[in-house]
């Protein structure tokens, strides 16, 4: 067993040892402690797998390419692109290393280069998913080196839920000669995610039955599923107007330049909020606003709002509403005035205790106990 300073490149500490006739060594680590921890992890892994069949050797870069081929088919485009970003960053450091030799300490060292704890956790999540695939499908490793790494503490920013005034300003600032006002109206009246509306086709709009089909991939297996949603008169009017003015027969909100659908509208809300002179917020805030508005102003039940949001769990809907239950409010109302420090209340309470012999006896017994 040996730890040494890599003086040839002045890049840090390395480890090296021999186990069952095979020599194991590492790349550099910033400190001696990190090199020692990585060596301990490597030896622990070797001992735990001693005597077991050795999986086929595969380096990280090769396995990552196979996983990304799978991810591109299974996940939404934005999810796939982020996974590709994470794996490429990690591959730049450890791409040529065999998967079974990559240690938790190496992964932690990489994650520690992320600027925030939120990024640390995000990259850890995607690396964990990659190793789970390598175990389950590729069968080239036995253990997931990410699973024992703890999440870093992170306080998410407070959700910005726009006010009714902000929404009205936004609609007023939208250019009626473009699709801006129609897109806002449809998002509000369907409580939909932006991707669901950008994916909306005319085949999904049934004017006779006044329903629309919204397709979502927010499910465990990643399949697209359709949810039927009713159209009110306002939504029907907006979509009917767009149908009569359509320039093609597929997309409800097409990209007029390419003739295909938008993959995303990244600058839409920021530009519109600036024109409307309101605090910036994104598409998803519209969904939060409508859920809260229906609950607080229109007194719509949580179950109905949950169905409109198309959540599988009522708990998810409660996060959107950020509401306080009536039971909680009633519980605290029941002790209203109990701790009033007005002098006359303190005097009355003390007199009551002195004049009530039962209270005096109970106090005496408690002191004896």
pLDDT at 297 over 70: yes
- Indicate the pairing of strand 22-25 with strand 225-230: unpaired
pLDDT at 347 over 80: no
Top mean pLDDT of 141-145, 164-168, 262-266 is at 164-168
Looking at the chain, the whole-number percentage of residues with pLDDT higher than 90 is 53
Average pLDDT over residues 59-84: 93
Show the tokens assigned to 7.
Answer: 């003086």
- Residue 42 — very low, low, confident or very high, per pLDDT cuts 50/70/90? confident
Average pLDDT of the chain, as a whole number: 84
- Residue 156 — very low, low, confident or very high, per pLDDT cuts 50/70/90? confident
Average pLDDT over residues 11-29: 76
Average pLDDT over residues 69-75: 91
Q: 216 has which bridge partners? A: 225
Show the tokens assigned to 298.
Answer: 């229109």
Packing angle of the helix pair 343-355, 357-368 (nearest 10 deg): 80
For the segment 142-153, what is each residue's pLDDT rounded down to a tens digit? Answer: 889 998 899 999
For the segment 85-124, what is each residue's pLDDT rounded down to a tens digit? Answer: 999 999 999 999 999 899 999 999 999 999 999 999 999 9
| Cα(68)–Cα(63) distance, integer angstroms | 9
Report the 10 Å Cβ neighbour count for 97.
Answer: 17
Q: Residue 200: which of 163, 136, 251 has the closest Cα?
A: 251
Q: What is the pLDDT of residue 246?
A: 94
| Cα(145)–Cα(149) distance, integer angstroms | 8
Q: What is the pLDDT of residue 363?
A: 54
Top mean pLDDT of 5-14, 137-146, 326-335 is at 137-146
For the segment 167-200, what is each residue's pLDDT rounded down to a tens digit? Answer: 999 999 999 999 999 999 999 999 999 999 999 9
Q: Are 283 and 193 a contacting pair, CB within 8 Å?
A: yes
Residue 138 is given by DSSP the state: I
| Cα(364)–Cα(347) distance, integer angstroms | 21
Show the tokens assigned to 307.
Answer: 């169905």
Q: Which residue has the tokens 């067993």?
A: 1
Q: Are 184 and 268 a contacting pair, CB within 8 Å?
A: no
- Residue 37 — very low, low, confident or very high, per pLDDT cuts 50/70/90? confident
- Indicate the pairing of strand 211-216 with strand 225-230: antiparallel
Q: Residue 130: which of 116, 117, 146 has the closest Cα?
A: 146
pLDDT at 353 over 60: no
CA angle 128, 59, 5 (to 5 degrees): 90
Q: What is the pLDDT of residue 360?
A: 47
Q: What is the pLDDT of residue 38?
A: 83
299's CB contacts (< 8 A; 6+ apart) are none
Alpha helices by DSSP H, the chain: 32-48, 60-74, 77-94, 104-111, 117-133, 164-173, 180-190, 194-198, 233-244, 268-276, 283-296, 302-309, 314-321, 326-333, 343-355, 357-368
Q: Could you give phi then psi for residue 333, rounded to 5 degrees?
A: -65, -30
Top mean pLDDT of 1-5, 27-31, 211-215 is at 211-215
Q: What is the pLDDT of residue 269?
A: 96
Average pLDDT over residues 126-148: 93
Q: What is the pLDDT of residue 344?
A: 53
CA angle 317, 81, 263 (to 5 degrees): 70
Average pLDDT over residues 282-295: 92
- Residue 19 — very low, low, confident or very high, per pLDDT cuts 50/70/90? confident
Q: Between these two residues, 130 and 57, which has the higher pLDDT value?
A: 130
List the strands of the sheet with 12-19, edge to edge: 2-6, 12-19, 22-25
């Amino acid at each position: 067993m040996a730890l040494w300073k890599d003086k040839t490149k002045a890049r840090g500490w390395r480890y090296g040892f021999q186990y069952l006739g095979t020599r194991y060594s590492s790349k550099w680590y910033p400190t001696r402690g990190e090199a020692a921890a990585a060596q301990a992890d490597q030896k622990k892994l070797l001992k735990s797998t001693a005597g077991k069949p050795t999986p086929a050797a595969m380096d990280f870069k090769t396995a990552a390419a196979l996983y990304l081929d799978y991810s591109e088919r299974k996940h939404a485009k934005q999810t796939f692109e982020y996974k590709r970003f994470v794996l490429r960053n990690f591959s730049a450091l450890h791409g040529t290393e065999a998967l079974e030799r990559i240690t938790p300490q190496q992964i932690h060292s990489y994650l520690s280069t992320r600027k925030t704890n939120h990024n640390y956790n995000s990259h850890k999540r995607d690396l964990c998913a990659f190793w789970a695939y390598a175990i389950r499908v590729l069968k080239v490793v036995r253990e997931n080196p990410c699973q024992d790494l703890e999440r870093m503490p992170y306080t998410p920013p407070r959700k910005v839920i726009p006010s009714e005034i902000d929404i009205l300003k936004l609609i007023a600032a939208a250019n009626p000669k473009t699709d801006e006002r129609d897109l806002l109206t449809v998002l509000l009246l369907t409580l939909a995610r932006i991707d669901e509306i950008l994916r909306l086709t005319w085949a999904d709009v049934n004017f006779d039955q006044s329903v629309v089909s919204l397709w979502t991939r927010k499910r465990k297996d990643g399949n697209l599923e359709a949810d039927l949603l009713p159209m009110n008169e306002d939504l029907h009017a907006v979509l009917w107007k767009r149908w009569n003015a359509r320039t093609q027969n597929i997309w409800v909100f097409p990209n007029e330049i390419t003739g295909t659908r938008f993959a995303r509208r990244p600058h839409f809300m920021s530009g519109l909020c600036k024109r409307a002179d309101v605090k910036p917020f994104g598409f998803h805030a519209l969904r939060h606003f409508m859920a809260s508005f229906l609950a607080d102003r229109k007194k719509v039940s949580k179950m109905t709002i949950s169905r409109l949001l198309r959540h599988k769990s009522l708990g998810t809907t409660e996060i959107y509403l950020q509401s306080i239950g009536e039971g909680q409010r009633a519980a605290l109302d029941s002790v209203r005035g109990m701790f009033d420090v007005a002098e006359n209340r303190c005097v009355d309470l003390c007199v009551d205790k002195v004049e009530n012999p039962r209270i005096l006896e109970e106090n005496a017994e408690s002191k004896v106990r």
